[in-house]
Chains A and B, each alone.
Chain A
């Protein structure tokens, strides 16, 4: 059996990669992809904790169900995020987040 910390280490690496991409990429689509990486790192953690906890046999499916909800949120985020990127591009011909200040509060 692979010990729990190995899954967590991989998830940490994936999350750090996502953070790096989200901070440093110029293209908004690339930033969005990095955010997806971070969400998936979280999902690995959720499922791993669920699997290695004593409760994984009962109906207490917290980790399992949570992952499904994270998937839904990730999908909704991608759909709306990409729609915003497309619209901003159509109006301003730009996919660089720094140049689109119209959404600033």
Chain B
């Protein structure tokens, strides 16, 4: 199997994977009763009438967690090739990788110091 054939397999898998859960849903769609009414299709909030828009304001802390996650996630772009090349790597390259991790730990440390990790 050459490289692109592998990915043809993945592509086929990716096409079929949503079809598996879609099948029972479609079958259920054929069999299920359909008796919608206004109350049933209204938004469920424990029986209380919905007030205002759904898009209420959210706290900024969600964004900050997402932000720290993004930085660490992007770091993986470099750390995974680094780890894959680890066994044949020279000492210089190894130290460079260390420096990379160290610099990012700094950022985490800053966030910690500024209480940005607190759920407030």
Q: Which residues of A contact B (CB under 8 A)?
A: 68, 71-72, 75-76, 78-79, 82-83, 86, 90
Contacts and interface: CB of A to CB of B under 8 A. Distances in A.
Nearest to A74: B74
A83 B67 contact: yes
Contacts of B78: 68
A78 B70 contact: yes
B71 interface: yes
Contacts of B73: 75
A71 B74 contact: yes
A82 B71 CA distance: 14
Nearest to B77: A68
Given A68-B78, A86-B60, A75 B70 contact: yes
A78 B77 CA distance: 16
21 contacts: A68-B77, A68-B78, A71-B74, A71-B77, A72-B74, A72-B77, A75-B70, A75-B71, A75-B73, A75-B74, A76-B74, A78-B70, A79-B67, A79-B70, A79-B71, A82-B63, A83-B63, A83-B67, A86-B60, A86-B63, A90-B60
Nearest to B68: A79
* Max chain B Cβ within 10 angstroms of own Cβ: one of A71, A79, A86, A90: A79
Nearest to A78: B70
Contacts of A76: 74
Nearest to B64: A83
User: 5 shortest A-B CB distances, which residue pairs?
Assistant: A75-B74, A79-B67, A68-B77, A72-B74, A79-B70
Nearest to B75: A72
B56 to A, nearest CB: 15
Contacts of B70: 75, 78-79
A78 B63 CA distance: 12
Nearest to B60: A86
Contacts of B77: 68, 71-72
A82 B67 CA distance: 10
A18 to B, nearest CB: 21
